[in-house]
Amino acid sequence: MAWLSSGSSNAGLIKNLASNGLITSERVKNAMLSVDRAHYAPYAPYTDSPQTIGYSATISAPHMHAHALESLLPYLHPTARVLDIGSGSGYLTAVLAALIGPQGHVVGIDHIQGLVDLATSNMQKSEQGREWLKSGRVKLVKGDGRKGFKEDGVEGWDAIHVGAAAKEAHAVLIEQLRRPGRLFIPVGEGSQYIWVIDKKEDGSVVREKSFGVRYVPLTDAPPEEGE
């Protein structure tokens, strides 16, 4: 049960996630230890539950972050290119950055400018986060994540994480995967399930339906002031 993993410090939370089997690898454990959740969750940062961050968005629960990271881990090599769609607080974007090397690259995309700004200021709270933004290891952008994201001169993503529930596993996201590459995406209206979709070396696509979840939906952007 989720509450079992809460802690009174970042280290305590992660220790409990590990002892409850929600974190299984040392790499994920060390990466989560290196990013203080208090920089991203406005209150009760070490409680194992989602929390509101404004703009009808939530930072996902620590056990969901752990699960997504464990799932994507085989694709998070030192030079990996990673896309975090619905980056919200920026927490997962930061842990993804910790899991790749200086030659890797993570783009966090959110369709609300206020949340892109929030993620940027959250990341700037640590020396490590400031360095990632400065070096370009992390880029935080505004855009509609349902279209994925393309950067000049670079082909595809090793890993794509989607942090909001999609109506479907958008074909364009699968197109933007490298061979091999993995997409982790909650799908469904009403009942939602995590889907883990792999593109193999030969370009074939394997889809696996995993467990039931509750995420905020991936939607059209709300109108901005003045629109």
Residues with a known catalytic role: 60
Cβ-contact 215, 88 below 8 angstroms: no
**DSSP letters spanning 182-214:** EEEEEE-SSSEEEEEEEE-TTS-EEEEEEEEE-
**Between 66 and 80, CB nearer to ligand SAH:** 66
181 touches ligand SAH (CB under 6 A): no
- Residue ranges in 188-217 that form contacts with ligand SAH under rule CB under 6 A: 216
State the nearest-atom distance from the C-beta of 182 to ligand SAH, in Å.
17
Cβ-contact 156, 201 below 8 angstroms: no
State the nearest-atom distance from the C-beta of 90 to ligand SAH, in Å.
7
**Between 31 and 115, CB nearer to ligand SAH:** 115
32 touches ligand SAH (CB under 6 A): no
Question: Torsion over CA of 142, 148, 149 and 150, rounded to 10 degrees?
Answer: -160
CA-nearest of 82, 45, 64, 62 to 177 is 82
145 touches ligand SAH (CB under 6 A): yes
**Between 131 and 144, CB nearer to ligand SAH:** 144
In single-letter form, the type of residue at position 22 comes to L
Q: Which residues bind ligand SAH (CB under 6 A)?
A: 55, 57-60, 85-89, 91-92, 109-112, 115, 144-146, 163-164, 216, 218-219
